[in-house]
């Protein structure tokens, strides 16, 4: 019994990247075709940079609150990692009002 426990601990310590690796999601401040602005979220397992997040949103859009409709984006103003503040003041205001 002790041997299995010790072997498990050794396996975790020898390979910490797999155990503790996680993806970080992205948030983007976007302008829609109707000229309104909104925060859109991008799954971090699909992209690895803010530039890729912006490109994904422009190409694919994002799901509306109903979870079915796709909203197309006219322009991506700024993207950041999920727990980073925006540079744009209006983006930070919109971010504070956007539910997670």
Per-residue pLDDT reduced to its tens digit, 20-53: 445 899 999 999 999 999 999 999 999 999 999 9
Calculate Rg over the CA atoms of the chain: 19
Domains of the chain, residue spans? 23-97
* Strand pairing class (26-32; 73-81): antiparallel
What does the mean pLDDT of the chain come to? Answer: 84
DSSP per-residue letters across 26-94: EEEEEEETTS-EEEEEE-TTT-SSHHHHHHHHHHH-EE-TTSS-EE-EEEEEEEEETTS--SSHHHHHH
Q: What angle do CA 49, 75, 96 make, to 5 degrees?
A: 70
């Amino acid at each position: 019994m002790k041997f299995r426990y010790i072997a498990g601990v050794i396996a975790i310590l020898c390979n910490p990247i797999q155990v503790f690796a996680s993806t970080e999601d992205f948030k983007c401040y976007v302008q829609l075709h109707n000229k309104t602005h909104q925060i859109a979220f991008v799954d971090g397992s699909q992209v690895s940079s803010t530039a890729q997040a912006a490109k994904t949103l422009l190409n694919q859009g994002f799901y509306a609150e109903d979870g079915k409709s796709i909203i197309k984006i006219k322009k991506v103003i700024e993207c950041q990692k999920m727990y980073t503040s925006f540079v744009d003041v209006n983006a930070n205001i919109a971010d504070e009002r956007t539910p997670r």
